[in-house]
Structure 1
Amino acid sequence: MTHQGEVPSVNFWSLSDKKDTSKFCCGEKAVNDFFRKDAWKFHKRTSHRVTCTSVANSDGVAGFYSLASVTEEIRKLPGNYARLGQSGEFPCLQLAWMGVQRPLQKSNIGIAMLGKIVSTFAKVGEQIGLPHLIVFPINEDVKRFYKKMDFEEYDGGTKMFLSLQIARDAVRE
């Protein structure tokens, strides 16, 4: 995984109903709406694991991410990846939502969060049979961010994935 600049020291914690999410603003309506209105509901029923982050010496929410276990169609993956199994779908980890408060964007908090996500994926992916981490970028800026982090496009460029092997290699670096 490649990035430039210093990655800040951040704290991670699991979302709770005690945190006020109503003022979160990353500049993307869909991301804001999920975190403000739906994150706790999805987290509580365990369909998503929502993790929050704060920068050192602050207890406010600097950003968050939401992970879910989903299935994806094998035929949508490029090249040799399409031969992963016999069935038409395979399990994968999805980075469903990720956002950083607007004033903190471009401070590498997103890189710190993605580093934590990739590290977690590298540890558990093989143990529970998840060969890919997938994401559906919401715009071209987001797509460029994930490309810098070694994600590959698939399904006509609407989705991106990171293989378990690349995640494990990144964690070893």
Structure 2
Amino acid sequence: MQLRKKTLEAVRLNSAHKKKEFSCGEKALDDYLKTQAGQDQKRNVAVCFVLAEDDGTIKGYYTLASDNINRENIPEARRKAMPYKNLPVVLLGRLARDQRYKGTDIGHWLLVDALKQTMTISKTIGIMAVVVDPLHEKAAAFYEKFGFVKLRDTNRMFMAMETIRDAFKGDDKGEREKQ
């Protein structure tokens, strides 16, 4: 008998998700999910995507919002091809994994899902890159491991859409399997 693995899917945060139980170890990220994420969604400021168990237990989450970056902050090689002072990007505002799921690669899965969501969005609107604001050096090292680069004169990091598209050539979002 062959067992099928359950496909993972991040969904928009809703009232069935157990926000109060979430703990990633970073107070700012825990508090955001528990008190602000729902309001941000209602106000169309950011969308919070969660990876959750069937019972609503949140394994991890990330947020996406529109933003822009100054052309002068991107690497020179890319800057020459960009005609506008302010460039459209998607802000991966927060990404967190519950401590109960440490060692399961859920952080990696959430990042990949966020990048794939952004690829889908980029088929409808102009997006030059994905930008992150790492909370600390450990978070910056996580993003750097996946190819994000620091923007000049800022703590922000970015990954160009062409880099994201190249990374996922031939990959189907529906093929992700449960960790």
The answer, yes or no, to whether TM exceeds 0.5 is yes
For 1:130, the equivalent position in structure 2 comes to 127
Measure how far apart 1:106 and its partner are.
2.7
SS in 1 for 2:17: coil
For 2:3, the equivalent position in structure 1 comes to none
For 1:103, the equivalent position in structure 2 comes to 100
Taking the aligned partners of 1:66 and 1:86, their CA distance within structure 2 comes to: 28
Taking the aligned partners of 2:7 and 2:107, their CA distance within structure 1 comes to: 12
Among 137, 141, 145, the alignment partner of 1:140 is 137
Asked if the contact 1:126/1:164 (under 8 Å) is kept, the reply is no
1:34-93 CA-to-partner distances (Å, cap 9, x unmatched) read: 1111000001111101100025x6541001100000111111112122235443211100
Taking the aligned partners of 1:84 and 1:39, their CA distance within structure 2 comes to: 36
Among 31, 42, 45, the alignment partner of 2:43 is 45
For 1:5, the equivalent position in structure 2 comes to none
Among 74, 79, 82, the alignment partner of 2:71 is 74
Q: Structure 1 runs of 4+ off > 4 angstroms?
A: none
- Contiguous gaps of at least 5 residues in structure 2: 1-5, 171-179
Q: Which amino acid aligns with 1:39?
A: A
For 1:20, the equivalent position in structure 2 comes to 18
Asked if the contact 2:69/2:87 (under 8 Å) is kept, the reply is yes
Among 73, 86, 90, the alignment partner of 1:89 is 86
Taking the aligned partners of 1:41 and 1:58, their CA distance within structure 2 comes to: 23
CA shift in 2, pair 1:156/1:102, >3 Å: farther
Q: Tell me how large the CA RMSD over aligned residues is.
A: 1.9
Asked if the contact 2:21/2:57 (under 8 Å) is kept, the reply is no
SS in 1 for 2:87: strand
Taking the aligned partners of 2:81 and 2:60, their CA distance within structure 1 comes to: 34
- Contiguous gaps of at least 5 residues in structure 1: 1-7
Asked if the contact 1:95/1:135 (under 8 Å) is kept, the reply is yes
1:2-42 CA-to-partner distances (Å, cap 9, x unmatched) read: xxxxxx96332111133231221111111111111100000
Taking the aligned partners of 2:124 and 2:81, their CA distance within structure 1 comes to: 16
Structure 1 vs Structure 2: percent identity of aligned residues?
Answer: 22
Asked if the contact 2:74/2:152 (under 8 Å) is kept, the reply is yes
For 1:34, the equivalent position in structure 2 comes to 32
